[in-house]
Structure 1
Amino acid sequence: MRQPFRKASVYIALLLILEAVTGFLIIIVTAIYQTILSNYLEDIDRRLLFSYLFNVYILGAQLVVTFLCSLSLWNRLWKRRCTPNVRLMVSVWLFYSCVIIASGFGTVWNLYYNIDVLENSAESSLLHGIDEYYTSPEWKLLWDGLQLRKQCCGVYNYKDWMNAEWMPKQAQAGNTTYRTKAVLAPIACTKKISDNTNCAPNFAMNPEEYNSHKRAPFPSLTVDSINTNGCLPVFSESLWRYFYILLLLALMALKFLIFLCCFTKYILQRQNVGDGCDVGLTDEEGRPLVMVKYPRNVRCITIGEDDLASDMAPEATYCNCEEGVETCDYCEG
């Protein structure tokens, strides 16, 4: 096809590459946030999370494959003459691209519609982890790592640990000030010593509490020394952040597709000028004339409209005839 302006093919190729890069970013961002969100869930809920994100992976893969293959398609189109078949192929390609972007917004909507389901799954999983903390090493490692990295404590707040069934009640210490401020929570709930380390300070039990509860799984801490915010709000914040990033990438893909549609429609329209798809010639009634190619050894004859309407063959035309001469040469046209 003829390029309607300078570097038109470069602009088309750039838009196709941007669409493919957008799909690649969708896959990368989804993989990162799946890893982050999986840290809050047990195995069965991780599978549920993957089932929700699987359509997002498919969307990203479709964008990458479709628009990278479109580079080869457009490189071939620039070398071909624009014909009705080419116009049909480009129209089908545009329609298929629009279907992919529309399915992308459907995927985003599906994730938005099920955010509450994922939050409920995370809540149930974390509460179950608190019940299994003292008996399951896997949950203990998960909770300790989560609370250290995210600087949170409990599901909603630190009181979730104190309400656990296996948690011993606080000692009735004689020091009233200590008793009112003391909480029972894992060491991982303590605040960072500095910004360069995740190590928690080495707290010791109150002597009176130690004598009364020798079986306590961890010592009492104070409210001022621990993170009081829960881990579930951190999960919800990460989930909503991922949703907004995914929505932004889907809008970027839509914007690039709009530019592609505009460029494509403009290019196909410009093919009507010169030697493009349409020769620009019409008959007396405004109907377009069709140009037909034929081999060089084939002669063409022109048949008028009246001849087509008649059942009789057109009369032969003679040339080089003089009056009174019975025979003369036949003129072929």
Structure 2
Amino acid sequence: MRQPFRNASVYITLLLVIEAVIGLLLISVTAYYHAILTGYLSEIECRLVHGYLLNIYIFGAQLILTFLCSLSMWRRLWKRRCTPNIQLLLSIWLFYSCIIVASGLGTVWNVYRSAKVFENGAETSLIRGIDMYYSCPEWKLLWDGLQLHKECCGVHSYKDWMDADWMPQQQDSDNCSKAGGTNGILAPYTCCKRGCASSTNQDMPGDQQQGVSHNQQPFPSFTLDSIHTNGCLPVFCKALWRFLYILLGLALLSLKFLIMLCFVTKFIMQRQNENDGCCDNVGLTDDDGFPLVVVKYPSNVRCLVIGEEDLASDVAPDAHYCLCDESAEDDCEH
């Protein structure tokens, strides 16, 4: 095919590479945030998240495979003459590419609309993890690692630990701290800020240990200034929405570059249709102003000039007029 403008093949290649890079970014970003989000959830909620994000992985893989393979296709097309079969191939390819991007946008939109499901699942999972903090070692490791690395405490705030069913109830003056005071806050060590010093109240009185089973360790007592007061659920929601906005941005970028690719491809096909069957110079006439017709011929056949008397038929189709190729100019007979 002819290139309708300078470096047309370069622009086509650049657009195809950009689409493949967007697919790679989709997979990388999804894998990164997938690991972050599942760090807040139990195994059941992790499977739910995996089911939602699986289609994002497939969308990214489709972009990579489709447009990288399209590079090879376009390299071959530039070396061939434009025919109806070539135009049909390009039309089918554009339709298939649009279907892929449209389905990917639908998948991203579905994940975006399911943000509330993720938030509710994380909240339920974290609250259940507090209740199972001592009875399930997996949840203890998850909560300790989460509060230590994310610098948060509890689900919504540090008070979630003091409201746990297994937490010993504080009496008298300790009730004030539970209502918002600054002393006697019971929470895991991982809620403590870095460099903070806990109170010396490591051993709780006997009446505080009645609700604690024999395999539980008493919590130390902290002051409000020595622990992280923000909950872990807002940190999860912040990471979730950041991930969703990045997904939407990448999906819209893929749509934008696909539209550009469609316009360039359609322009190339239109120019090929205009130039099909004739040379660049049209409407050629002889010295007397009579039109000349050049018929395409194989390389081993000479170029013939048809006179006006041969075009006298009223039913003759309209002909395209052009000059012979410069390479065949010496072989033409006048």
TM range (shorter): 0.7 to 0.9
Query: Where in structure 2 are there 5+ consecutive unaligned residues?
Result: 284-292, 305-309, 317-334
Contact 1:147 1:188 in 2 (8 A): yes
| CA displacement at 1:91 relative to structure 2 | 1.1
Displacement after TM superposition at 1:171 (Å): 4.8
Q: CA deviation at 1:49?
A: 0.3
- 2:113 maps to which residue? 113
**Runs of 4+ off more than 3 Å:** 171-180, 207-216, 276-282, 291-297, 302-308
Report how many residues are paired.
293
Could you list the runs of 5+ residues in structure 1 that have no partner in the other structure? 194-200, 283-288, 309-333
Deviation at 1:176, TM superposition (A): 7.9
Identity %: 56
Question: What is the match of residue 277 of structure 1?
Answer: 276
Q: Classify 1:106/1:293 alpha carbon distance in 2 versus 1 (closer, same or farther; 3 Å).
A: farther
- Which TM-score applies when normalising by structure 2? 0.78
Distance in 1 between residues matched to 2:84 and 2:223, nearest whole Å: 78
Partner of 1:58: 58
- Secondary structure of 2:23 counterpart: helix
User: 8 Å contact 1:81–1:277 — kept in the other structure?
Assistant: no
The answer to whether the 8 A contact 1:272-1:279 is kept is: no
Please list, as runs of the form range in 1=range in 2, the aligned pairs for 1:76-225 lying within 5 A after superposition: 76-172=76-172, 180-181=181-182, 182-193=184-195, 201-206=196-201, 209-210=204-205, 213=208, 217-225=218-226
The verdict on how the C-alpha distance between 1:307 and 1:139 changes in structure 2, with shifts beyond 3 A counting, is closer
For 1:242, the aligned partner's letter is: F
Quick check: 1:170–1:184 contact (8 Å CA) kept in 2? no
Larger radius of gyration: 1
- Deviation of residue 178 (structure 1)? 11
Q: 1:209: Cα distance to partner?
A: 4.3
Tell me the distance in 2 between the aligned counterparts of 1:278 and 1:170.
Answer: 93
In 2, the alpha carbon distance for the partners of 1:32 and 1:268 equals: 41
Q: 1:171, 1:209 within 8 Å by CA — same for their partners in 2?
A: no
> How far apart are residue 279 of structure 1 and its match?
3.5
Amino acid at match of 1:237: K
CA distance in 1, matches of 2:73, 2:231: 53
Whether the 8 Å contact between 2:202 and 2:221 is mirrored in structure 1 is no
How far apart, in 1, do the equivalents of 2:175 and 2:111 lie? 52
Task: Please report how far the alpha carbon of residue 204 of structure 1 lies from its aligned counterpart in structure 2 after TM superposition.
Answer: 3.7
Q: CA deviation at 1:120?
A: 1.0
Shift of 1:208: 8.4
Q: 2:177·2:185 contact (CA, 8 Å) conserved in 1?
A: no
| AA matched with 2:273 | N
Return the TM-score normalized by structure 1.
0.78
How far residue 174 of structure 1 moved from its aligned partner, in angstroms, is: 9.1
Measured in 2, the distance between the counterparts of 1:229 and 1:66 equals: 45
